[in-house]
Amino acid sequence: MLSTLHTNDAPGALTRLLDLGVAPYLLSASLKAVLAQRLVRKICPNCKDEYQATAMMKKAVENIGGNVEKFYRGAGCSKCRNTGYAGRIAIHELFVPNETILEMINDRASLKKLRSEAIKAGMVPLALDGLEKVNAGIISIEEVLRAAPTGADIEKRSK
């Protein structure tokens, strides 16, 4: 079965389902994967321009745990109606629970612990997937910061 849930990230779907009354043993027995996605605006290719990021932007990238070599944004042109953006693309976070995570679900582990284990198991967080698209010059860092939870956001929600 496929379904949609309103959560901030993929591991958040587990705690949301538990909060809705799904028994942990049922969840761990039936869950195969959770995909979180956010649509973000693509930089207009006709007016894409490299710029020097502010110290605050560089710090935000550092807080996410990634690296960005060059920063781009759309300057605005007639093709994008002077918005600097043309079209959309999704950033993703695919969470596939392993045996450890399934046991953690049964033990009702915290969202913070589930997320940490998912990352150890290879899940690429939304923000890091966004940074890959920033490095490719497809989206702006502002779009990542607007759409994806960052490390600081995750810490606040986990407490």
pLDDT in tens, 10-52: 999 998 999 999 999 999 999 999 999 999 999 999 999 999 9
**Is the overall model pTM greater than 0.75, yes or no?**
yes
| Structure tokens, 32 | 């195969």
Residue 153 pLDDT: 43
Q: How does residue 65 score in pLDDT terms, banded at 50, 70 and 90?
A: confident
Task: Give pLDDT tens digits for 77-121.
Answer: 999 999 999 999 999 999 999 999 999 999 999 999 999 999 999
Question: 135 versus 156: which is more confidently predicted?
Answer: 135
pLDDT of 157 over the 80 cut: no
Amino acid (1-letter code) at residue 106: N
Mean pLDDT of the chain: 90
pLDDT of residue 158: 39
- Comparing C-alpha atoms, which of 156, 153, 155, 123 is closest to residue 10? 123
pLDDT, residue 155, reads: 42
**Structural element, H or E, at residue 42:** strand 34-43
Q: What is the pLDDT of residue 84?
A: 96
Predicted confidence at residue 151, as pLDDT, reads 53
The gap from C-alpha 42 to its chain's centroid, in whole angstroms, comes to: 16
